[in-house]
Every structure is written in structure tokens, then in C-alpha cells.
Structure 1
């Protein structure tokens, strides 16, 4: 996730304390030695030879939300640990595969796993994390274990479908905003929706509460993707960790761009974006101007605001403690309140 300028939610530290040991235990228990080595490296726990390291391993936003959903059901955060660890394992399954598909050679300042261990080993390690996530839930002594496992796998399938659609978009010049939003709902929203409800589902909460938490997460995920796409064009590199206009250089079919192209505000934009030759720096700046001029930036901001408001409404209708509701809203601000 791109760096936020909003205050870090207080639940993140609490989540890391519970989830990091559970993740390590799951990798050691369920994975064979070769796959465990790749997984340890990818998570930042060791170097490529297996020597322990002390590097940044991510914020663990999704598992923190899962622990919070366990609290929403009246349980302790610790009761949601198997679900939280499972969500994070699925997330890292997707990252291992994404790095290979995108040809990325660095993640969080280190070489990606596939560049050190090979694409086949990294692919298999990702697969192993996915099956481990399912095993964690099915082995949990909780009333909602089977239901939670089914929900996580359903969310994973939606995420995979969203990724496949995103790849297909690269070969089309007629993608619509509606299609792009559906893709974002699958690729980003599905796992966040699951994260926000899985702890409650594992605890056997009422369907109404699970549904509202799930809807909150889905809206939050789409809003997050809209903001992330905006940052991919106009974000400051010092805050986002990537160059301003990075998504334009590789001509991704991001939401602001698709909205601008759909508005048919500029033949120049389509000509630049769909040609085969790379864009130079002047052309990248020009494309950003054309996207904004065609309304792409305003459209994405408006849709992001819409989904944040919808997420808040889902929480307003949920029967949960006010302190838990406040923490969910804190996450919403953290994930979507970024400026560019």
C-alpha cells in the first residue's frame, strides 16, 4: 500500500504483536523446508540464506482489520488471530505472484523472491501460503471455521478474477469506467471486504453484522484503489515511494485515465496513450494534463468520496461498540485520506 499522510491507526501495533508470531508459526508448521525459506525471505524475516534479519515487513493493515472485526462480534482481538493470519497469507500469496507477472525486481527495498529463488519456487511458495491460509481456518477451534474458510477462498477467487481482468485491459483501448470499477472491486475490494468481516465470521457472528462489515470493506477497497490510482499520476514521490506519473509511464488502464478516455475529451490523449513508443517525460506531463482536463481526476475523486461515504453508512447501520466503530473509521481515513 502506498504511504499515507494520515495518522497511523492505533490498532496496527496491536495487530502486529498478535499476527507476526502467528504467521511465523504457520509458515514453520505447514510449509516444507524449501517453501518455508522463500516465505521467510519474502516476509522479511531472513535473508536468502535463511539468516534472520530485521527489516520492515509492512503495516499489516488487512490482518489488523480482521482482528478488529473479531472485536466487532464481541470477542477479543486474539480470538481473530487465525483469521487475521490467513488474510495476510493470502495477501502475500498475491504479492509473490504479482511480482513475477509484473517482472518487478524489488519490493520494500529488497530483491523480490523470484529474482533470488527463481519464478517456479516463488510461484510454489505463493501457492503454499494460499493453502496454509485455508488450513489455518479449518484447524481453528471456532464455530465459524468452515464458513470463514469458504469466504476467504471466495474472496481469493474474486481477487484472481480481478487480476486477470486487469491484465486483459492492457490489450484493450475500449475499457469503460464501469468495467474498471468492477475490476477494482474484485482485485482490491474483495480481500479488504473479507478482512473486515472474517474475524466476526470466525466467531460465528450474526449474518447482518458480517454483511455490513463486508460491505464496509468492499467500499473501502474501491475507494482505496481510486485514491491509489490518483497517486499513481499526481502523487509526490517523497510520499508515495514511486515516481510522479509512474502509472502513466507504463500506460496502465487506471481509473482516472479510463474515465478521461471514456469522456472522449481529447484525441491527443488516446493517441499518446495507445501508441507503442514509450512516453518521454514531457509527454508524461502532457498526458497528466489531458487526463485532468478531460475530467478524469475530478471523476476519481468524486467516486472515492462516494465509496467512503457508503462505507461510513455501512458502519452506521452495524450493531457494534462505538469504540470499535471509531477504529474502523480511523482505518478508513488512513487508507483514503491521502493528499497529492
Structure 2
């Protein structure tokens, strides 16, 4: 069984008059370090209208259907005074059949926090039967734009679905998006272990240094939306990784196989991550040794990625 990574670029021409043309690419996940990884364009999502926050930065693979869905970044503007449009686009993998819906924000004063986004599917531990929902972590890494931190949201899989904040005791400022539920903890990638489900079997990623710290992972509590203490990411020499880029995070979730974790940076660099297992296996939001190791596997040769003209921030893995 081959493992394919999926990512979606920003609007390819930046021309709002012809919609928001977001190209979807897939690429084979390498089993050993290589130089360049050649992607294939599988389709284009064209989000028409005046959707200012169109970038589909959160990608996840539904463990029931095996299909990939995407959710857009939280906010494009600097203030959360009006509710931004939330877009979920389903079936963006191969065979491509991308269709978009506009989930409803609830409660009525809900605004999403932050400017960057990561997503993955997982069980909803607040509901009997634990149905599958699309979780979305939204973060801000730059104090120029307000408080640094992250908030976790969930989107039900019905059409169009409902968006809600994951927090046991949300405050007014957290609901309205002016404060994060995890102050000082920025993350923009999300991966949920659906092979071994549990409310803390999820990791979020932070490969940014703009928030004043280094590269790290966090355990995520899918019931309360809280993040653990940081899990420091080191390189193969044992030194802090110290790259600075937006990121996507994904588990392989292959039945009958041991779990693997990968990260994709917006520039196309792919990392395999190991050494996180003792942290993920610790009870609750507790940690093992608080370290993980990232090994560079190669760079996906995505159009205009290395130059920074087009960013590719969403990432998920589908099994074909």
C-alpha cells in the first residue's frame, strides 16, 4: 500500500476576479531520504466570490471514508469584529471531486482565533457514540497581530455542518476570537492517531520561530482543547531543529502497521518525526522525555514554493 501526501497551495494567480484557484497536489511519501519529490496535480478548488480567507490550510483524512477534506484559515483581516466565512471542501483527494460547504458558527458570537490553520479528523469525545468530526487548530504566532496562542475547533461532518469551540469553560473573549484558549502556545499543524483512538492521541506542530520559541510539538486534548507542555523537536544530531516555516502534520494511520508521523513545511520540505511515542503514550497531557527527532526526507517540488510566492501549509496522508 502506497502512502500519498496531499497539500493545497494558495490562490495560484492572486486574481480575485476569476475566483480563488487553489491547486491540490499529491506526492509519494518517501521511505528513505531523497532529494526532490515530484508531485502530481490532482485538481483545482475554485472558491468563487469575495472570500477573503480562502487559503485551505487545514487538511485531514476521514478514517471512515478515506477521503480528504480541507478547511480554510481562520482570519485574513486583523480584527475578529465580523464572523469570517468558514469553508470546508470535501473529496479533494484522488479521484478529485472537490465540493465546498459553509458550516454554521455556534454559539452565535463565535469567531475563530488566529491566522494559521491545521486540521484532521477524529472522534468527538463530548458526544455519545463518539462520531467523527473535523478538528481545526487555529493559531497566531506574531504578537503584532494580538495574543500569541492557539484554539481548537471542531466541525461536524453533516452538510453544511456546525463549527464550535473545543473548551470546557470558554470565556467571552475566547468565543469572540480575541484571546486563545492556549495562551502562548502557537500551533498550525494537527495530526490525530485514529489507529489507537483516545482524547489525547493527537499532536499539534509548531515549526515557527516568530512566536519567540523553537520548533516543537504539543499533545492535544480533544475534549478540552488544551495543549500540553512543549515537546522539543531536534535534528538527527540532537540539536534544536530551528527552522522557521508554517507546517502541516499527519499520521499514516495504516491499519495493522506501526504509526508514523510526518510534517510538511510550506516550502515543500518533508520531515519524518520519531521519538514522540513516549510522550504520546503518557497519560493525559503528561509527557515522556519531552523530545522528538525530525529527519529531512526531501523536498516536494511544488510550483513557486521554494521562492515563497505560493505557500503550501496544509498536509494530510491518504492510503491508496
Which structure is higher in helix share?
1
Give 1 or 2: higher strand fraction: 2
TM over 0.5, shorter chain? no
TM-score under structure 2 length normalisation: 0.29
Structure possessing the higher relative contact order (Cα contacts under 8 Å, 6 or more residues apart): 1
